[in-house]
């Protein structure tokens, strides 16, 4: 599924105003995670507030906040690498509007959970995010993510380029 954002959210109100904030499809939560993480280097607290919404009943743990801080220490190029139009050569600059291509896992839904795979232009394999379905609201919330693994450095930061 292709998900497009004309503008990325900068706070919880802007996030909730997006049509994907219905979280009625697991792909929406996966793409929104990336859209929200683009705000991390600007304002961590606003980003955490938006992630709380995407996590639903799980909430965001102290460990997860520390993990995100560790992953984002090198900059937001890791997150940008998941948007269309990016590559190490263009320093992971996404094309506009912001577009993310998602793919459901092969086994689809298992025990109310689904893996959504997204390709990073800086990695050789697809990365995934796990979402869990809340039946009472028909929403998909983030349970765990493996999107922010290491990727190739942008050309401007690569000492071997």
Q: What is the pLDDT of residues 44-83, one digit of tens each?
A: 999 999 999 999 998 999 999 999 999 999 878 999 999 9
Specify burial of residue 108 (Cβ count, 10 A radius: 0-12, 13-18, 19+): exposed
**Are the CB atoms for 92 and 80 separated by under 8 Å?**
yes
The reported pLDDT for the residue numbered 157 is 85
Q: What is the pTM of this model?
A: 0.95
The reported pLDDT for the residue numbered 134 is 97
Tell me the C-alpha to C-alpha distance, in Å, between residue 8 and each of 18, 85, 113, 123, 133.
9, 16, 26, 23, 24
The reported pLDDT for the residue numbered 10 is 98
The reported pLDDT for the residue numbered 23 is 98
Q: What is the mean predicted confidence (pLDDT) over 112-123?
A: 96
**Are the CB atoms for 45 and 161 separated by under 8 Å?**
no
């Amino acid at each position: 599924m292709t998900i497009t954002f004309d503008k990325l959210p900068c706070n919880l109100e802007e996030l909730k105003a997006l049509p994907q904030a219905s979280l009625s499809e697991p792909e929406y939560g996966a793409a929104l995670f990336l859209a929200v993480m683009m705000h991390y280097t600007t304002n961590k607290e606003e980003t955490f507030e938006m992630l709380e919404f995407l996590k639903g009943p799980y909430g965001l743990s102290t460990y997860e906040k520390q993990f995100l801080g560790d992953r984002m220490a090198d900059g937001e190029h890791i997150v940008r690498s998941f948007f269309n139009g990016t590559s190490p050569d263009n320093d992971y600059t996404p094309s506009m509007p912001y577009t993310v291509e998602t793919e459901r896992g092969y086994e689809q839904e298992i025990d109310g959970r689904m893996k959504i795979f997204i390709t990073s232009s800086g990695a050789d394999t697809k990365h995934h995010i796990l979402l869990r379905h809340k039946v009472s609201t028909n929403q998909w919330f983030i349970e765990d993510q493996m999107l922010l693994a290491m990727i190739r450095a942008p050309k401007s930061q690569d000492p071997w380029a």
